[in-house]
Amino acid sequence: MKPAPEIDIGRLQKEIAELALISESPPPVVTRVLFSEADLKARARVKDICRQARLAVREDAVGNIFARWEGTDKAAAAIATGSHIDAIPNAGQYDGVVGVLGGIEAVRALQRAGFQPRRAIELIVFTAEEPTRFGLGCLGSRLLAGTLPPEKTAALRDAEGRDLDFWRRQAGLGGSLDSVRLNAGAYAGFLELHIEQGPVLERENIAIGIVEKIAAPSSLRLRLTGVGGHAGTVLMPERRDALLAGAEIALAVEKAAVSSGSPDTVGTAGVFRVEPGAVNSVPSRAVLEIDVRDTNPATLNAALAQIEAAAAQICQKRGIGLELERINVDAPAMCDARLVELAVRVCADLGVSSRNMISRAYHDALFMARICPIAMLFIPCRGGVSHRPDEYAGPEQIQKGVLVLAEALRRLAE
Ligand SMILES: [Zn+2]
């Protein structure tokens, strides 16, 4: 085996800390909502760091950033890595950033080692992995993979009613969004480094989690319309109570998830709004929003179908009007067996502990899986905490993650 690439963890940590200061909130809080002033500044900083590493930087029409280290074989598809730098309000400094700045450091480490890639290596910074602005996550990677129809993209609005074109102009981005889509085979593979955002690796004292499957979220919105009335005068047999129908539906969600046959099915009725919301008034309307996730498309679809059938039946029984909307149903992704195997081997060769695992949060890799083979590398984060200012990954943990990424990229690009 060739000598392992050497990671400059001091420099990388400094870059992570400096990027965290580019925020809409005072430190240690990181907030970078898509195309806000802070997001644009952070994007400019990352592009600078890429240029300093002599990478060729380009941006597509939705602002996905590509930084390319050209290979000697121009005809070979590139190998890609990367993640995101946008951050939800009140977030920390590692989510996404470890995969972006760590990806750049992996490239620099290979450059310092004198490596010359045969395949190009591309770092991708995806636009809006977080759903904060438009209520839809992975905007950039969905468009790259062609899974977001143009009419759905055009209908996106933020809380102030501004659309994506308004924000693209703010960011100085032109061109047709149709041009963002990449063909299958555009990349030979995509490997995303990310903090785990869960407790498993820390608990088991393991350096690297190699993701085999990514669970996908589906969300449903149900609007229930019953008949309101005075809580004293409308007698029980006469009632068409929207809340009671909603309560039965919430229980049906639990039942569908528990009985799906897959241990990875989870169902949550996280939103339950009731109108008019007075103690002495029979609830006339209710809105439920339901999140269902799974790693297996068959059990996911069966659970969704079961919930929808139960909702229809409950509403019919109770004389409640039902409007059901599937907000999004994304397919779970399987990681590529060969990339997973390669990551396992790299960890073993480097003497870094690893285990295979499932990603229960979704990432840009979920959508990249539609156009190329993917895998993900997780590193532990303290307490499994993420999306909070106290999110933390230690230097040794980051160093190991970037080392494994660098060595994997080397083997894939040589
Ligand atoms: Zn992330």
Instruction: Return mean pLDDT, the chain.
Output: 95
**In whole angstroms, how far apart are CA 69 and each of 118, 157, 320, 413?**
10, 36, 60, 11
Give the span between the Cα atoms of 190 and 167, in whole angstroms.
Answer: 28
Q: In the numeric block, which tokens belong to residue 245?
A: 């129908």
pLDDT 10s digits, 106-161 = 999 999 999 999 999 999 999 999 988 988 889 999 999 999 988 889 889 998 99
What's the 95 CA to ligand 1 centre distance in angstroms?
5
Three-state secondary structure call for residue 150: helix
Q: What pLDDT sits at residue 217? A: 84
Task: Name the CA dihedral angle for 131, 136, 139, 145, rounded to a multiple of 10 degrees.
Answer: 140
Give the span between the Cα atoms of 190 and 68, in whole angstroms.
Answer: 14
Question: Kindly report the CA angle at 253 between 249 and 258, in degrees rounded to 5?
Answer: 145
328, exposed or middle or buried, with CB in 10 Å at 0-12, 13-18, 19+? middle
Q: What pLDDT sits at residue 329? A: 85
What's the 92 CA to ligand 1 centre distance in angstroms?
11
pLDDT 10s digits, 179-205 = 999 998 899 999 999 999 999 999 999
Contact 215, 334 (CB under 8 A): no
Three-state secondary structure string covering 57-71: EEECCCCCEEEEECC
| For helices 37-52 and 97-112, angle between their N-to-C axes, nearest 10 degrees | 10
Give the span between the Cα atoms of 201 and 198, in whole angstroms.
Answer: 8
Residues around ion ligand 1, judged by CB within 5 A, are 95-96
pLDDT 10s digits, 376-404 = 999 999 999 999 999 999 999 999 999 99
Question: Kindly report the CA angle at 193 between 382 and 328, in degrees rounded to 5?
Answer: 95
Range 286-294 average pLDDT: 94
**In the predicted structure, residue 50 carries a pLDDT above the cut 90:** yes
Contact 264, 296 (CB under 8 A): yes
pLDDT 10s digits, 300-328 = 999 999 999 999 999 999 999 999 998 88
What's the 199 CA to ligand 1 centre distance in angstroms?
16
**In the predicted structure, residue 1 carries a pLDDT above the cut 80:** no
pLDDT band at 3 (very low <50, low <70, confident <90, very high): confident
Contact 9, 399 (CB under 8 A): yes
Q: In the numeric block, which tokens belong to residue 309?
A: 């059938």
pLDDT band at 4 (very low <50, low <70, confident <90, very high): confident
Question: 67 pairs with which residues across the strands?
Answer: 57, 123
What's the 194 CA to ligand 1 centre distance in angstroms?
7
Q: What pLDDT sits at residue 106? A: 98
pLDDT 10s digits, 340-375 = 999 999 999 999 999 999 998 889 999 999 999 999
What's the 261 CA to ligand 1 centre distance in angstroms?
29
Query: Who contacts 46 (Cβ-Cβ below 8 Å, separation ≥6)?
Result: 19, 65, 85, 100, 101, 104, 125
What's the 379 CA to ligand 1 centre distance in angstroms?
12
What's the 37 CA to ligand 1 centre distance in angstroms?
20
Give the span between the Cα atoms of 55 and 74, in whole angstroms.
Answer: 15
What's the 363 CA to ligand 1 centre distance in angstroms?
6
Question: Kindly report the CA angle at 292 between 291 and 298, in degrees rounded to 5?
Answer: 155
Q: What pLDDT sits at residue 249? A: 98
**In whole angstroms, how far apart are CA 27 and each of 17, 33, 76?**
10, 16, 43
pLDDT 10s digits, 211-240 = 999 998 898 999 999 999 999 999 999 999
In percent, the amount of the chain with pLDDT more than 70 equals: 100
pLDDT 10s digits, 242-255 = 999 999 999 999 99
Give the span between the Cα atoms of 176 and 112, in whole angstroms.
Answer: 38
Task: Name the CA dihedral angle for 166, 167, 168, 169, rounded to a multiple of 10 degrees.
Answer: 60
Least Cα distance to 192 among 91, 106, 279 occurs for: 106
Range 78-104 average pLDDT: 96
pLDDT band at 85 (very low <50, low <70, confident <90, very high): very high
Q: What pLDDT sits at residue 225? A: 98
Range 278-296 average pLDDT: 95
What's the 344 CA to ligand 1 centre distance in angstroms?
22
